[in-house]
Amino acid sequence: MPRHTDSRQRLLEIATDLIWESSYGRASVDRICERAEIRKGSFYHHFESKEQLALEALEHQWQIYRRELNDIFSPLVPPLERLRLHMAKARETQEAMREKVGFVCGCPLFSLGCEVGTLEPAIRAKVHEILDQNLRYLEAAIRDAHTTGEIVAPDPAWKARIIFDYCEGAHTRARIMNDLQPIREIEQGVMEILGVGQPVELSARG
């Protein structure tokens, strides 16, 4: 049984995993507690409801992921390299999750947002907030690539939205098909959208 001081963190992690692996609806309080090996009384000591847990789990994971994005999208990294590193990281994450759970999970934010729809406005708003912040990283990299002359993108915000929707669509298709191929093709597709030649494989660079 986890120590009381660890139980809150454990619940956040387990809720994140269950929602990503299956769905928000299937991640019941009972199932979360069982997986976390925590009594239901301890759950309600930390969280008023499953909705509050989901909201805090989203923020918790976003803070972790944002630190990774800050490194990937550092201004010290060339703009197009930022995009390639970002897509490589997403591919590696999906490959690791499939190895862990046995199937392709796709984007947890899109899956959750589509599932809750208008039924859970607080969760939908949180998902939208995080997706919007993700979009800003892409927009900054595209704007910098246009400024340096690597691409022609006079409207970086619009181009970022097109690429963002394409990437998320590929992740959703990969989940539906249970096949990583759409995700593995994202880098080539994004570079074609940007009008860039065939990208160099990350493994081939020094």
126 alpha carbon, distance to own chain's centre: 13
Decide: 168 and 151 in contact? Cβ < 8 Å. no
Tell whether 158 and 137 lie within a shared domain: yes
Tell whether 119 and 150 lie within a shared domain: yes
Tell whether 35 and 7 lie within a shared domain: yes
Tell whether 83 and 164 lie within a shared domain: yes
pLDDT for residue 175:
96
pLDDT for residue 2:
46
Count of domains for the chain: 2
Tell whether 40 and 79 lie within a shared domain: no
Residue 79 lies in a domain: yes
CA-based angle 78:81:87, to the nearest 5?
150
Q: Which of 33, 61, 89 is the last residue of a domain?
A: 61
19 alpha carbon, distance to own chain's centre: 13
Cα(167)–Cα(155) distance, rounded to whole angstroms? 19
Residue 204 lies in a domain: no
Tell whether 28 and 121 lie within a shared domain: no
Residue 55 lies in a domain: yes
Tell whether 82 and 136 lie within a shared domain: yes
Q: Which domain holds residue 33?
A: 1-61
Residue 115 lies in a domain: yes
pLDDT for residue 198:
56
Per-residue pLDDT of the chain (206 residues; tens, 9 = 90+): 444 558 999 999 999 999 999 999 999 999 999 999 999 999 999 999 999 999 999 999 999 999 999 999 999 999 999 999 999 999 999 999 999 999 999 999 999 999 998 889 999 999 999 999 999 999 999 999 999 999 999 999 999 999 999 999 999 999 999 999 999 999 999 999 999 965 444 433 33
CA-based angle 154:159:160, to the nearest 5?
125
> What stretches of 22-155 show up as alpha helix (H) in DSSP?
29-36, 40-46, 50-72, 79-101, 108-116, 121-147
Tell whether 189 and 105 lie within a shared domain: yes
Tell whether 13 and 80 lie within a shared domain: no
pLDDT for residue 119:
83
Q: Which of 22, 40, 61 is the last residue of a domain?
A: 61
Tell whether 148 and 190 lie within a shared domain: yes
Which residues touch 130 (CB under 8 Å, ≥6 apart)?
A: 58, 62, 109
155 backbone φψ class: left, alpha, beta (φ>0; ψ -120 to 50): beta
Tell me, what CATH number does 2's domain have?
A: 1.10.10.60
Question: What amino acid is encoded at 140 in this protein?
Answer: A
Tell me, what CATH number does 163's domain have?
A: 1.10.357.10
Tell whether 178 and 78 lie within a shared domain: yes
Residue 66 lies in a domain: no
pLDDT for residue 5:
52
Work out the number of other CB atoms within 10 angstroms of the CB of residue 21: 17
Tell whether 47 and 78 lie within a shared domain: no
Residue 68 lies in a domain: no
